[in-house]
Amino acid sequence: MSVPGATLPPMTKVHSERAKGHIESLPSGSFRVKVYAGLDPTTGKERRYRKTVKTEVEALETLAKLLRDVEAEREPQEAATLDYVLTRYLEVADLEVSTREAHEGYIRRTIRPVLGDVRIGKLRADMLDSLYTHLKRCSRLCNRLPKVEHCTEAEHVCNALCVPLKDHRTPRPHQCDQRCTPHKCKPMAAGSILRIHAIISAALNLAVRYDWIDRNVAEKATPPQPKKREPDPPTPKQAARLLNELWEADPEFALFVWLATTTGARRGELVGLRRHRIDFEAQEIRITRNYLVKAGQQIEKDTKTGEGRRLSLDPLTCELLQEHLRRRETALNEAGVESTEDAFVFSPDPAGLRPWNPDTITHKYERYARATGIRSSLKELRHYSATQLLSNGIDLRTAAGRLGHSGGGVTTLRFYAQFTRPADKQAAAMLSSQLEDLRKRERL
């Protein structure tokens, strides 16, 4: 249905023969689309789809889509689109908050615009390969975007507000500046394309389990295989230089980087560290929680493996932590505020009521690292910790325990034990000298 230029009065109702739906115009100027989807077979309650959009055109398009989805639900084998199956997959999949947010982003930006309206019975492997081929050339769907971004969707004469296609600094509404540049095609990373493929494949597997289709065509597609990226942790000299710079510029952040380097703990584990989880008498910290911020939600959850661990601290690290907490205690006493044992160790709030934002920490580290000529990321401090432990004779089980790896250290060796030249030379010398000694004995 298309009504260019029409104005929808409040509570405009657009019914289909089989499913009921209507559009409401809101005081804000936006439009709310509602579709009745029948009774839930489990609870017996009415099911309704709702979505708010900004324009009349979007409202009509959304209404048509929701009505199709309802019809697809009633006759899934005949009418289910990939978009509908993806929606059902997200409803039933048991995903972490961060994983769910990433999936929704890939679906919204990449999968839905190209393949969302394709019926799953008509979907072919070459369609998927075509999408992957384009993404290897450009991460944006630039062949589907207008060459000019118009100032309005209504008919108009283009003016200075209508600009050529740009790579914007943010997807949110904003005033363009020098950071919004003319579009240049940049390939999507092979790992990201593989994740898109995995999402489509998982949704189609759901359709197979529900007997909507007989086979998963994604199994015949050929997404690119990501090349293994060699980690590039800082060298001990680089790490020392960076820490010296940080202690001059930002002592609290320097302590965070020191802990990340010496403990190998994950970013969210250190951000979520609370005062009562430090035992100065036993010289250890208890890692039991992981903190993250996703879609504006502040989430404190179990660690990645679901298991807590105790990490021993050396006397110097204990001293640095105690000094940091003493400075905070002094500032609170002067302000007449009482400190709590539940306070976060690293916090923008003097009382430690909320932790640092994890993403802010990552960007902050990268800025300081670049300024000192270091290319590594915050995550690669875990590579540093694992590599230094193993190359200095610490056994694999202990190293894996400090990093919070399960599986007896397999993950530690596979992902975090970076090849080190000194250890390699030591290994070569050991093998050579051992063989030479045996060779000399044989001569005797």
Q: What DSSP string runs through 36-53?
A: EEEE-TTT--EEEEEEEE
pLDDT at 93: 92
Q: What is the C-alpha separation between 128 and 346, in angstroms, rounded? A: 45
Binned at pLDDT 50, 70 and 90, residue 2 comes out as very low
Residue with tokens 């905070």: 328
pLDDT > 90 in the chain, percent: 30
Residue range 44-68: mean pLDDT, rounded: 85
- Which SS3 state, helix, strand or coil, does residue 32 take? strand
Query: What is the per-residue pLDDT across 59-85, written as a single tens digit (0 to 9) for each?
Result: 998 888 888 877 766 555 556 899 999
Tokens found for residue 353: 């009521």
Q: How many residues does the chain have?
A: 444
Asked if residues 276 and 285 have their Cβ atoms less than 8 Å apart, the reply is no
pLDDT at 393: 77
Beta strands in 54-156 (DSSP E): 148-149
Q: What DSSP string runs through 234-301?
A: PPHHHHHHHHHHHHHH-HHHHHHHHHHHHH---HHHHHT-BGGGEETTTTEEEE-EEEEEETTEEEEE
Put simply, whether the predicted model's pTM sits higher than 0.85 gets the answer no
pLDDT for 186 beyond 90: no
pLDDT at 12: 45
pLDDT for 139 beyond 80: yes
Binned at pLDDT 50, 70 and 90, residue 142 comes out as confident
Specify the range with the lowest mean pLDDT, choosing from 47-51, 250-254, 375-379: 47-51
Higher pLDDT, 418 or 93: 93
Binned at pLDDT 50, 70 and 90, residue 13 comes out as very low
Binned at pLDDT 50, 70 and 90, residue 305 comes out as confident
Higher pLDDT, 242 or 339: 242
pLDDT at 10: 46
pLDDT for 5 beyond 50: no
pLDDT at 7: 46
pLDDT for 439 beyond 50: yes
pLDDT at 421: 54
pLDDT for 423 beyond 60: no
pLDDT for 8 beyond 50: no
> At residue 16, what are phi and psi to the nearest 5 degrees?
-100, 170
pLDDT at 334: 84
Asked if residues 311 and 284 have their Cβ atoms less than 8 Å apart, the reply is yes
pLDDT at 31: 92
What is the pLDDT of the chain when averaged over all its residues? 80
pLDDT at 184: 77
Query: What is the per-residue pLDDT across 315-345, written as a single tens digit (0 to 9) for each?
Result: 899 999 999 999 998 888 888 888 888 899 9
Residue with tokens 């879609």: 295
Binned at pLDDT 50, 70 and 90, residue 310 comes out as confident
Domains, the chain, ranges and CATH?
1-74 (no CATH), 236-422 (1.10.443.10)
pLDDT for 94 beyond 60: yes
Q: What is the C-alpha separation between 267 and 264, in angstroms, rounded? A: 9
Higher pLDDT, 401 or 104: 104
Maximum average pLDDT range among 175-189, 190-204, 205-219: 190-204
